[in-house]
Amino acid sequence: MDLKINSVHFTADQKLVQFIEDKVKKLELMYDGIIAGEIFLRIDKNDASENKIAEVKLLLPGSELFAKKQCKSFEEAADLAVQALKKQVERHKSKKA
């Protein structure tokens, strides 16, 4: 799977990038039809403590899966987005079977 991580208006450290790569690559173990993944990390402009946004998009043959989560940390947001995508991948697999 080709994976691209984009951090908008900041530079993500290597530890964060590695954490997200590990999480998203686990989805590939569930379903090997995933072509590519694109992750956007953003910081929301508001002053709330939950201002870290992770958007994850997966490209599959004939469809696209997407999840967006906002939390206190990028790790938590990415983790929740991957959990949401896990359910979507399972639904996609059951439709194909």
CA angle 7, 16, 8 (to 5 degrees): 10
Split into its structural domains, the chain has a count of: 1
CATH number at residue 82: 3.30.160.100
Q: pTM for this one?
A: 0.92
Each of the 97 residues of the chain gets a pLDDT tens digit; together they read: 899 999 999 999 999 999 999 999 999 999 889 999 999 999 998 777 889 999 999 999 989 999 999 999 999 999 999 999 999 999 998 887 6
DSSP designation for 33:
T
pLDDT of residue 42: 95
Say how far apart CA 29 and CA 69 lie, in whole Å. 22
Residue span of the structural domain in which 58 resides: 2-96
10 Å Cβ neighbour count for 78?
27
Q: What is the dihedral angle through the alpha carbons of 75, 56, 33, 35, rounded to the nearest 10 degrees?
A: -110
